[in-house]
Structure 1
Amino acid sequence: MIKIPAQKPNSEIEVLIIDGQSLVHTVVRSALLDAGIEKVQSAHNAYSALRLCQVTRFDMILIAFDVKSDKDGFNLLEEMKFKGFITKTTCVVFLSADTSKGLVNCVVEMEPTDFWVKPLDRSKVEKRVQQIISIQKKLYALRYCYDHEEYTTTIYYAERQLKDLSLVLYYPHINRLIGRSLFQLKEFQAAQEFYEKLAENYSYAWVQVGLAGTLLKQDKINEATELTAALLLREDTKFATYDILAEYHIDKEDYQQGYEIIQEATKLAPRSIERNRKSWNLARLNHDRMGQYLATRNIAKYAKNSIHDSPDLQLNVIRSGLDLASTLSETESNKLLVNTEKTLDRLKEDFGAASELGDQITIIEVRLLNLRKNKKQAEQVMLAHSLTNALKNFEDNLDKVKAFHEVGLWEQSIRLLDQMKSEVGHDSFTGKVLAEYLEQESKERQDIRYNPKELGEMASSHYKNKRYKPAYNLLCQAS
């Protein structure tokens, strides 16, 4: 059995308060001191908070949404979890005056210990601090095991704690970890029976969602359909139900249905980078160029100043803009290309000198030349740079595949595509979707040699000359 470290006394608990308002620091610090917690540090911005986390392992972190200047609290919370500064045993309190549904959904998904609405009331803060400390101490071993993926041991501790009447107020939380552990262990029948028994006594949203998830994993479609239909009508279960339904349809390779569901879930929590990525991958698999473009824009927007932020995100916006432009009318395409060229110019000003972006930018410029009907020049640029070797990541290589194809170097395009297919895993949501997408791309690029706009122009020429069958075939390819 896993060895669990001893808990700290209150006087040794390390606390970090992250907020741009001095009054918040004063109110919270005073409440913590009354609870016997003396090791309290303050940060007024994300940069300072991350610096402090690099040298101190905090047991409790209070983080405001409206952190000054460099990041918002949501991005900071996500980064701290990503870097391991926050684990299941860390007490996290999120502070915000904004209680809009989109923000609350996103915060809940990050699973903080508590959510306090600002402005803070001193007496309420004192009471909540005492309650949180008590909960943390009593559930420490349980959370530690779950945090370290010791799911069998988690269930062992949980079942013991469910016999402790002093923990009756915490039974729902304990049961929730049992259900999650059974799910992680893939004991779906046992999980179903567990949730069904809980449903006799609890009306919590997570019980019903958990039950629906176990039914879907067992392909008990009739029961699952009836239950999920009811859950989608409830505000407190709609969000999580969309997620489990999307996962189910992706597992069954029903990508269109999965995409539609992911889009609805994204509307509920637009800040989720991971969900926007899923939407992006499913959009291109379903040939939704506009959806692809909007998803990459959302990722770049909400990743700004976060752990996810990088020039690659702007590159992806540009690339999806080029994909979309190839399907639009001349007027709409030109308008989008002008905006895309402006974005590219800004990117070149900021990162163009960086050697790692040289090939990526050249490939984008090749695709722009081709869309501007300078195909011969585009081919010459592509050949002059001898861009035959694979680049550093999937998106870079995929863009190169498109560039090769668009300038007429079809053999090089297919060769690189085959190489990419051999390197994509199938053991995750993203891997499964991208593998399917590459198979689709491989077939289409072998059968279809031109982009939608070029095919449309060729079809128009055939039609004007009363060659209806080839015109029809070309329009089918464009579609």
Structure 2
Amino acid sequence: MEPSVKHFFDSYEDLQVLVIDDNTLIHDTMKKAFYDVGIREVRCAQNAYYGLRLCNDMQFQVVICAFNVNSDKDGFHLLEELKFKGHVTKRTVVIFLSTETSEAIVNSIIELQPDDFWVKPLTPKYVKERLAQTLKVKSHLYNMYQAIDRKEYSKVIYFADRHLQNKAIKSLHPNILRMRGEALQSLLEFEEAQKFYQSLLKKFKFGWVYLGYVRALLKQGRIDEINDLIKTLSDKPDTRFAMHDLLAQYHIEHEEFEQAYEEIKKAAALSPRNIDRNKKSWDLARLNHDHIGQYQATKSIVSNAKNSIHESPMLVLNVIRAGIDLALTITDGSADKLLQQTDHYIQQLCEDYKEASEFKEQITVVKARLLKARNQTKLALRLVENQVSLRPTPDLEDNLDKVKVFHELGMREEAMFLLEAIKNQISGDSLTSLVVSRYVEQEIDERSQIHFTPKQLHEMALEHFQKGRAKPALDTVLQAIQLAPNSVRFSISLLKIMIALKEEDVLSEQDYQYADKALALFDKSKIDGKTEEVIKPLKEAWLAFFRNPQDNQNEK
């Protein structure tokens, strides 16, 4: 019979071990410890590149990797790639090494679910003891790991129940129980999972038990029953990252996109290396009209995708696009600086990918948008008419950017034609598809009704106001705020206009909600002294309308 992976774990001399660390002293420590326990096949690599080459040549049962490999990609992205290429499965022993224990690193490591995490410096004694324990777990529970790899979750539960009857491996029961609970959730048996975790809470106080219990209830839509527990877990360092992630997923599923965005931002900040989460943050930022958040998310994606399987020139294009979107909401001189940065990104992209002719139209589109942002409309129009096709491309983001340039240049029929084509590109029932599809629906609705950029609308509102047309000014500034609800400057203009209309006694009580939102934005925003000097008298003037005469008399 051919030896299985389980036989490797039962017999140390047959194990094949890979160590990836740029410190050769770590290699020496590892080799000594492994040779002492009978492991003979130990390969070492000083960077991820050579580690990947070794994995292409042979199958390793144990992979030990430094989280920070300074010469190329870090351990997070390396393990991501090893999993993607099938070099690492649940049956592989994966151990991370690090000198750091910061919350961001620990959260990133927890996400990848390694079998162990060793803090440097290491000694042969420490290595031997921790390795022995890790191999023991992998050997005893091999059938469960194999079933997980095959997505046979009913088998996971069957093997778990058998192992739990074995008192000889009682120390492994928490591992077994955790895998059993995760299998129930993978089978979508959320009510049974809830009861399972509820029973565990009587005996264990592990973070994963609480999180499993909360997830099971969230999946049943029973959030009101666990609000206090959610708050507690959101405040605890060992559970807050996972809790924010769970809440983001819950709110997306219930189409509560503002709450989802707030939670995903917190999760992304606590574990910044996860590209999919950063992309989700970007999508939610767009849906919530947070142009600053959109720009920051795209830059974070580029930064964290460096040297990973996610790295792509398209990510840089998204930064450029988000930068232009943000610039079109800014009414002061900082917009010029942002557009200069965007110019630099375009130049760098063209230099890095000189042979990539497939980016030609995308670059033309962003250059035209830049020209339009700088009020060089004729040049932008000429560029688009000569070099940009109305034909949709297979890439959703390319098409969305074409829509923007058509819309900004007043080519509204072309913009709406492309938006209709984009609707057919949204497919799938994933949470990401749900967010993106809502964003496309929002784009279709807004671009069919609002024909100008936020910056243009704000300028038009100010012109109306200066010429004594306060009501048209209010209608126009509200459109600008719809497209850029986090703009403090737009809200300042709104409050000025509403004070004028209130003095004319032409506001309805329904209009007061707009001022309330502006005041709430001021309270939550980081405002410098100069802006605060502008806002303070406006707030006082607005609130004075609602004081009763007795209040005014008391102040006197």
TM-score of Structure 1 vs Structure 2, range by shorter chain: over 0.9
Alpha-carbon distance in 1 for matches of 2:340, 2:240 = 40
Deviation (angstroms), 1:124: 0.9
The one-letter amino acid paired with 2:407 is H
What per-residue deviation string (whole Å, max 9, x for no partner) do you get for residues 290-323 of structure 1?
A: 0000111111111111111111111111110000
Three-state SS of the structure 2 residue aligned to 1:189 is: helix
Give per-residue Cα distances to partners, 1:266-305, cap 9 Å, x unaligned: 2211222122111111011000000000111111111111
- Residue 141 of structure 2 corresponds to 139
Q: Deviations over 1:139-162 (max 9, x none)?
A: 111111012110001100111011
Letter matched to residue 99 of structure 2 = A
Shift of 1:36: 2.1
Residue matched to 1:203:
205
Does 7-16 or 95-104 show the bigger shift? 7-16
Match of 2:516 in 1: none
Distance 2:68 2:438 in 1: 41
Pairing of 1:417-432 with structure 2 (within 5 A): 417-432=419-434
8 Å contact kept, 1:188–1:217: yes
**Aligned residue number for residue 7 of structure 2:** 7
Which residue identity does 1:477 align to in structure 2?
Q
Given that 2:403 and 2:418 are in contact with CA atoms closer than 8 Å, whether structure 1 keeps it comes out as yes
Give the equivalent residue in structure 2 for 1:159: 161
1:259 is matched with which residue? 261
Code of the aligned partner of 1:166: A
Answering whether residue 413 of structure 2 is matched by residue 411 of structure 1, we say yes
Ranked by relative contact order (alpha carbons within 8 Å, sequence separation 6 or more), the top structure is 1
User: Which residue of structure 2 lines up, in the alignment, with residue 71 of structure 1?
Assistant: 73
* Alignment partners' CA distance in 1, 2:451 and 2:298: 26
SS in 1 for 2:464: helix
Match of 1:122 in 2: 124
The answer to which of 207-216 and 346-355 deviates more is 346-355
Counterparts of 1:221 and 1:71 in 2: how far apart (Å)? 39
Shift of 1:426: 4.4
TM-superposed deviation, 1:386: 4.1
Counterpart Cα distance in 2 of 1:426 and 1:472? 40
**Structure 1 residue 85: deviation in Å?**
1.6
Secondary structure of residue in 1 paired with 2:95: strand
- State TM-score, norm by structure 1: 0.97
- The equivalent of 1:349 in structure 2 is 351
Q: Which has the larger radius of gyration?
A: 2
**Partner in structure 1 of residue 552 of structure 2:** none
8 Å contact 1:18–1:49 — kept in the other structure?
yes
Unaligned runs of 5+ in 2: 482-556
Q: Is the 8 A contact 1:366 1:378 kept in 2?
A: yes
Q: Which amino acid aligns with 2:319?
A: V
| SS across alignment from 1:99 | coil
Structure-2 separation of matches of 1:386 and 1:248: 40
Query: CA offsets per residue over residues 188-214 of structure 1, 9 Å max, x none?
Result: 111011001111111100000100111
* Residues 462 and 473, structure 2, Cα contact 8 Å, conserved in 1: yes
| Kept in 2: contact 1:17–1:40 (CA 8 A) | yes
Write the letter of the residue equivalent to 2:385: L
How far residue 54 of structure 1 moved from its aligned partner, in angstroms, is 1.3
The question of whether the paired residues in 1 share the 8 Å contact of 2:77 and 2:308 is answered with yes
Contact 1:352/1:358 (8 A) holds in 2: no
Change (3 A) 1:100 1:5: closer
CA contact (8 A) 1:259 1:279 kept: yes
For residues 82 and 146 of structure 1, the distance between their equivalents in structure 2, rounded to whole angstroms, comes to 16
Over residues 198-255 of structure 1, what are the superposed CA-to-partner deviations in whole Å (9 max), with x where a residue is unaligned? 1111110000010011111112233221221221222211111111111111110000
Aligned with 1:24: secondary structure?
helix
Residue in 2 that maps onto 1:232: 234
Q: CA deviation at 1:82?
A: 2.4
| Secondary structure at the counterpart of residue 112 of structure 1 | coil
Superposed displacement of residue 5, structure 1: 6.8
Runs of 4+ in 1 over 4 A off after TM superposition: none
Q: How much has 1:392 moved relative to structure 2?
A: 3.5
Alignment of 1:9-408 (within 5 A): 9-408=11-410
Return the offset for 1:450: 0.9
Alpha-carbon offset, residue 330 of structure 1: 3.5
1:162-190 CA-to-partner distances (Å, cap 9, x unmatched) read 11112111111111111111111111111
Is the contact made by 1:162 and 1:174 (CA closer than 8 Å) also made in structure 2? Answer: yes
1:68-125, Cα deviation, whole Å (9 max, x unpaired): 4122222212222222221111100100111111111111111111000111022111
TM-score by length of 2: 0.84
Alpha-carbon distance in 2 for matches of 1:34, 1:159: 36
Q: Kindly indicate whether the alpha-carbon contact (under 8 Å) linking 1:183 and 1:214 is maintained by their aligned counterparts in 2.
A: yes
Considering only aligned residues, what root-mean-square deviation do their CA atoms show, in Å? 1.4
Instruction: Give matches, 1:448-463, under 5 Å.
Output: 448-463=450-465
**Would the aligned equivalents of 1:376 and 1:407 in 2 still touch at CA under 8 Å?**
no
